[in-house]
Structure 1
Amino acid sequence: MPLDKDSLAHVAIIASPAIGDSLLLMTVAHNLRRAGSNVTVFGAHIHALRAWFPGFDIRPALPPDQASEVLRDYGAVVQLHEARPLPEPHAIHPRALILEHLCRMRSPQSMAQRLVEYCRAELGLLDPEKHNGLVPPAGLVHRSHQARVVIHPTASTPDKCWLASRFVTLARRLRDEGLDPHFIISPAERPQWEHVQELGLGLPALGGLDEVEAWIFGSGWFIGNDSGIGHLASNLHVPTLSLFMRQGGARTWRPDWGPGRILVGGDYIPTGKLKEKLWKYALTPGRVARDFSRFRANGSWPSPYAVAAAGAAMPAL
């Protein structure tokens, strides 16, 4: 049943510590704001990207020991997962809306679309849209480096990661085809990937998440694991090829803002445990390269972003 208007007049959004989940939950924040709600977003990743979400009240992550005091004047509190980042949201606020059921429901829809339907069916919002309020800062040019392929070879857990050696093989193949592949990794992961530079592959030294976002925004393509950076690329409408272990996980968690394609490594592997162990071996660099080639040949997509006036510059390569 939709909530009463008073509860939705002043809403706190508690963003996840995961990048992808944070971007997805901003769909709810955006649609509440469109409907006239006064929305405050708490979260480290969204706070780092606050320049990309103009008009939102975005604050750093909320420490759990301060949550009761900070949230007491809000009509409702929205959190995606039951126990994170706030471990007991129902004990903190009487109108805590936990969206975990959307993650577990049987549905062909992506999480991005499920959140739109949640806004319509459970929050009672009229005409919600699959957009989260992201607006590029002035001066950035969308997909200005058409040949540049961003490769993101890591993820939140090892089971989601395709083999590192196969990402390198893929990148070398793309380079031989005239493309310009670059690996995007965190500063902590950089020592394990510096060897790719000796092979003539890109490994840009980027700073904060906002700089990573600007760099991806100017890139032509994205290939990566099931990860938050894949959602970020999709959110920026950079065509995205995502590698998944299972069809069910791909159906729910596929990036679903911009043009995208998924490739599932465990399609023909019989059990869950075997899929987890073997999918990354079953998925070959040749198969990924061929799928990516078909994706690129599928057509050109008009950019949803107008070229902004001179302002912030693209980060240097």
Structure 2
Amino acid sequence: MKLRTDSSIAVVLPSPIGDSLIGLVLVDNLIRNGYRPVVFGWVAEQLADWFPHVTVGQRAAWQGAFDTVLELRPTDYASTLSRSGKTICLATLPEYGGSKHMVDRIVDIATNVLGLADVTRSNGLVVPSDVMRGRFANRVVIHPTGSHPEKMWSRKKFIALSRVLVRRQLQPSFLVAPSELDVRGEIAKEGCEVHALPKLSEVAAWIAESSWFIGNDSGLGHLASCIGVPTLSLFMRQGLARSWRPGWGPGAVVLAPSFLPFGGLRERLWQRLLTVRRVMSAFHKLHGKHARATHHFAAAETNSATRIGMLPGAQSRRF
């Protein structure tokens, strides 16, 4: 399915943060290969300054404007952007399935379906110049919530983990969504630092200026990873971790012990079986690798700023 470089292309991102960041891998590869897609989705809108080479569109202004519309999963409006009313849904392609990491599935689609020659796992995120990466050397961002309750570790255990971090001379900083007022109040009542930032760009800046990230299987873990902040992710099962673990910067996954014989039982009990000590041990190992991993990621980020596909002097564009 070779796309013409002179054709108009839209990429419609799904609503979840992690899925959108993974979808931007496809966008970055299209740009690297000479295409100029217009991207739709709230994540791209709020992180426009973090993706300076991406053109972000407002759907009301682009009705029926595109020769080709790509969407990762079915949405309720992608077809309205297409001249023909048809879209190409990546989730229906064989390359989207399987057991590979989700980023590698997008890479396979870019290479084997769209026929792109210059393909990378990067999504093109660039930390804005006014954000000081790693400014707070001891700050550990903790994200105790997520979109699916069954994937969330106990809030009380997150609070207990934060106390251990304080004893290690680190500064835990909880991040929750503005809508999660009950969570914010419960954490604050325990004397912990907690923030509910209204914009995703503000969340990204807070994470970027921190030095560590610990959280559930959720979108903010992916955001921390592609910023390059060492990320520890708590997963309910190995299969999910294999496909959905944050896959860009330095990071690690921690799971409950696997001594139970049945997978379903492990899934129901993983929050109880995963202890603060086990999470802290995984964080300690990640901490020990930090200096080498940070050096490697910084070098890769420097190279990405001048890679093929970055528009010279590009700035965020919103239409």
Q: How many residues align?
A: 297
1:295 matched to 2:286? The reply is yes
TM-aligned CA deviation for residue 102 of structure 1: 6.5
CA distance in 2, matches of 1:26, 1:100: 18
TM-score, L = length of structure 2: 0.85
Cross-structure match for 1:122: 113
TM-aligned CA deviation for residue 291 of structure 1: 0.9
Aligned to 1:238, the other structure's residue is in SS state coil
What CA deviation, in whole Å up to 9, does each residue of 1:30-72 have, x standing for no partner? Answer: 1101111120001012101111111321124x4xxx6xx9453
CA 1:154–1:102 in structure 2 vs 1: closer, same or farther (change >3 Å)?
farther
- Equivalent residue for 1:283, pick from 255, 271, 274: 274
Aligned to 2:98, the other structure's residue is in SS state coil
CA contact (8 A) 1:45 1:209 kept: yes
Cross-structure match for 2:91: 99
TM-aligned CA deviation for residue 94 of structure 1: 3.3
CA contact (8 A) 1:28 1:119 kept: yes
- Equivalent residue for 1:31, pick from 29, 53, 57: 29
CA distance in 1, matches of 2:22, 2:176: 21
Could you list the runs of 5+ residues in structure 1 that have no partner in the other structure?
A: 307-317
TM-score, L = length of structure 1: 0.85
CA distance in 2, matches of 1:227, 1:140: 23
CA 1:104–1:279 in structure 2 vs 1: closer, same or farther (change >3 Å)?
farther
Aligned to 1:234, the other structure's residue is in SS state helix
CA distance in 1, matches of 2:169, 2:290: 18
Cross-structure match for 2:309: none
CA distance in 2, matches of 1:87, 1:158: 29
CA contact (8 A) 2:32 2:118 kept: no
- Equivalent residue for 1:13, pick from 7, 11, 14: 11
CA contact (8 A) 1:269 1:279 kept: no
CA 1:234–1:19 in structure 2 vs 1: closer, same or farther (change >3 Å)?
same
Cross-structure match for 1:314: none
1:259 matched to 2:258? The reply is no
CA 1:247–1:102 in structure 2 vs 1: closer, same or farther (change >3 Å)?
farther
CA 1:192–1:97 in structure 2 vs 1: closer, same or farther (change >3 Å)?
closer
CA contact (8 A) 1:224 1:242 kept: yes
Structural mapping, 1:40-55, within 5 Å: 40-55=38-53
- Equivalent residue for 1:140, pick from 126, 131, 148: 131
Cross-structure match for 1:273: 264
179-188 vs 48-57, which moves further: 48-57
- Equivalent residue for 1:238, pick from 229, 236, 246: 229
How large is the Cα RMSD of the aligned pairs? 2.5
Cross-structure match for 2:153: 162
What CA deviation, in whole Å up to 9, does each residue of 1:277-297 have, x standing for no partner? Answer: 111111001100011101111
What CA deviation, in whole Å up to 9, does each residue of 1:223-245 have, x standing for no partner? Answer: 00110011010010000000111
CA contact (8 A) 2:177 2:196 kept: no
Percentage identity across paired residues of the two chains: 36
Cross-structure match for 2:314: none
